[in-house]
Amino acid sequence: MLVARRHTRTSTPWLLLLLYLLLPNAWATTLLNDTSTAQDLYETADFLLDANASLSLDQVRAADAAFTPANTRRDLSFGYISGVVWLRLNLQSNAERLLHWRLELNYASLDEVRLYDIGADGVRESRSGDTVPYAERAIGHRYPVFEIVLQPGEQRTLYLRADSLGSMTLSGMLMSERDFEQHSQNGYLAHAIYCGVLIALGLYNLLLFLALRERPFLNYVLFMVAFALAVLSLNGLGAQYLWPQAAPWSNRMLPVSLTMAALLSAVFARSFLGTRQWLPRWDRVLQVLCLASALAVVATLLLPVQRALQTMSATGLIVTLMLLITSFVCIGYRVPGARLFALAWLLLLSGAVALALRNFALVPSNFFTLYAMQIGSGLEMILLSFALAARFNAHKRQREAALQDSERTLEKRVTERTEALEQANQRLRQLALEDPLTGLANRNALQQQLDQALKRGLRSHAPVAVMLIDLDGFKSINDQYGHAFGDLVLAQVAQRLRQYLREMDLPARLGGDEFVAICEHLPSAADALQLAKRLLEGLDTPMYIESRSVRVGASIGIAMSHRADDVTSLIRRADAAMYQAKAEGRNRICLANAPTQGPGQPGSGLG
């Protein structure tokens, strides 16, 4: 009995295999067990094109012979086509326990996918797709996913009816429940990282815009928002998390958002590259491109979805190519940031071209072509952030340079104002210490300078000579020719005082026709008399003013300082000597006596 049972167990698999080989269409049946790996639909499914979308399930089952193995095509990407596509899979379990498998189509933009799971218990129907509300999907997932349950030894036939106005991409996998969970988690993790990078970059550049108020940062954030919506729609995450109940809108969200992203990318390029400043003619081309992109956005809202998707692909490709050419032109003109911009858009262009070619079924559908836009855009976003960061640093350096220039300008202005103020103060001091008519020192300056000269004389034990000069005959000139002419005579007298006195001597005007000269470093009274004589001779020389010849004389009183002298006493003694000179006949010099003889006493005279 035991031997018979062993024989039965040994022969059962062979009988199943023989039965499998003898069944009709047995070559298309996929055997599944506990250790089976994931099955690619390209290797296991057959397809049938229903151009008019008119076949029912019964008609399709009756037309089994019309199905074609999928591996006779390059892949299961049919591009933009009319009608629907049917896929058929024959499955059989050779496991000894219940099997739970998942059938996933890894393209979220399929409008509606219906699964007809046919077995001995009848037909199990379920549906999914981006036009199906999330709550009504067979399994809650961003992709169309269906549950396949197989009893031990059970054979089932799966019919998938795919209907989509977009690109008909039916690549997918049949995998065990455990493998699907791991595969799904990895996919969600990758998209979470991608979206996290977009959010971080968007917030970073938004903060930069709020801080700097520069339009390129805002345009970049708007571009990222539109592009993020397109990516969320493309990957099915938008329909799962953002608009789970807006099924009809979900079908149109991808072309609208991606075309809007193309428009905003052109706007961003104009502001970032500064084409209005650097390339005015090329900027007009970009303006036309922006206008055309705006019209394309409107078209994606109004056209049928399939035409809208085709418009999206064409617009994205054209805009990306034009911006890449623009960046190369800007590199030639040495526009700041153009190199990083060109590299960023080259990466995005590669992704856009790969996705567009896949959508038109011109290249195989695989991981790279399916996620080319995300890969290229992720790298592009990072590079553009680097470019904006470089722009921020350049802006910071410009602000610092401008601040330094402002500080230097302010410092220069402060210096100029200080110098002007100092000059004004000096001018005021000069006006306070200078006679406005003759330019000589006035009475205040005379007292200050004489006081300092006396102090220097005490330190050096050298006398200071003070000459008090009163003009002779000036009153008659003033009365005859007028005060204006008299002022010219006084100015001429002042000029002669400067001419005949030494450079170190200080001439001053007391007022009227009285002048004073402070003379230091005269060894003796004889030297003072000699200097006064030279001055008297110079003053006695005729003056030619306004075609008139006039002549004035002078009475000069000299006082030599001694220790007991101060400013007042010294001038008083010189004044007394001057009056003595006038009393002796004018136009002469008189030397005052020393203070021991009493101030104001007459001294020696010199005619």
* 3-state DSSP of 495-515: HHHHHHCCCCCEEEEEECCEE
150-185, pLDDT tens digit by residue? 999 999 999 999 998 888 889 899 999 999 999 899
Task: Tell me how crowded residue 34 is: count the other CB atoms within 10 A of its CB.
Answer: 11
* Euclidean distance between CA atoms 54 and 50, whole angstroms: 7
The tens digit of pLDDT for each residue in 432-470 reads 678 888 889 888 888 889 999 999 988 888 899 999 999
d(CA 373, CA 231): 8
116 three-state secondary structure: strand
**Contact, 156 vs 118, CB < 8 A?**
yes
- Say whether pLDDT at 217 is over 80: yes
* Strand 46-50 with 68-69, pairing: antiparallel
Length of the chain: 607
Angle (deg, nearest 10), helices 247-273 and 372-433: 40
The one-letter code for the residue type at 295 is L
pLDDT at 370: 64
Q: What average pLDDT is seen over the chain?
A: 84
Return the closest-CA partner of residue 163 out of 210, 222, 109: 109
What does the alpha-carbon distance between residue 278 and residue 583 come to, in Å, rounded to a whole number?
Answer: 91
**Cα–Cα dist 367/370, whole Å:** 5
Contact 147, 102 (CB under 8 A): yes
Per-residue confidence band for 18, with pLDDT thresholds at 50, 70 and 90: very low
In the chain, count H helices and then E strands.
18, 21
414: its two tokens: 């402060």
Nearest to 306 by CA among 166, 110, 170: 166
Pick the CATH number of 443-606 from 1.10.287.1080, 2.40.10.480, 3.30.70.270, 3.20.110.10: 3.30.70.270
- Classified by CATH at the fold level, domain 26-183 comes out as Immunoglobulin-like (2.60.40)
3-state class of 103 per DSSP? strand
How confident is residue 116, by pLDDT bands cut at 50, 70 and 90?
very high
Share in percent of the chain as helix, strand, coil (round to 5): 60, 20, 25
Cα distance between the two ends of the chain? 174
The structure tokens listed for 347 are 């990466």
348, two tokens? 């995005």
In the prediction, which pLDDT does 10 show?
42
Q: What distance in Å separates the CA atoms of residue 37 and residue 33, rounded to the nearest whole number?
A: 9
Name residue 560's beta-bridge partners.
465
Q: Where are the domains of the chain?
A: 26-183, 214-396, 443-606
> Residue 365's pLDDT band (boundaries 50, 70, 90)?
low
Q: Where are the alpha helices (DSSP H) in 213-304?
A: 215-234, 237, 247-273, 275-278, 280-302
Q: Which residue has the tokens 């039916």?
A: 170
What pLDDT band is residue 514 in, cutting at 50, 70 and 90? Answer: very high
- Check if the beta carbon of residue 317 is closer than 8 Å to that of residue 353: yes
Neighbouring-strand partners of residue 471 = 554
Rg (CA), the chain: 55
pLDDT (0 to 100) of residue 161: 96
Q: Could you give the 3-state DSSP secondary structure of residue 560?
A: strand
Residue 20 has pLDDT above 60, yes or no: no
- The pLDDT tens digits of the residues spanning 250-266 come to 778 889 999 999 999 99
Residues 501/489, Cβ–Cβ less than 8 Å = no
Residues identified as active-site: 513
pLDDT score of 290: 95
pLDDT for the residue numbered 431: 62
* Phi/psi at 48 (5° precision): -140, 130
pLDDT given at position 599 = 41
Given a cut of 50, whether residue 62 has pLDDT beyond it is: yes
Q: Which helix (H) or strand (E) holds 463?
A: none
Instruction: Return the pLDDT at 11.
Output: 45
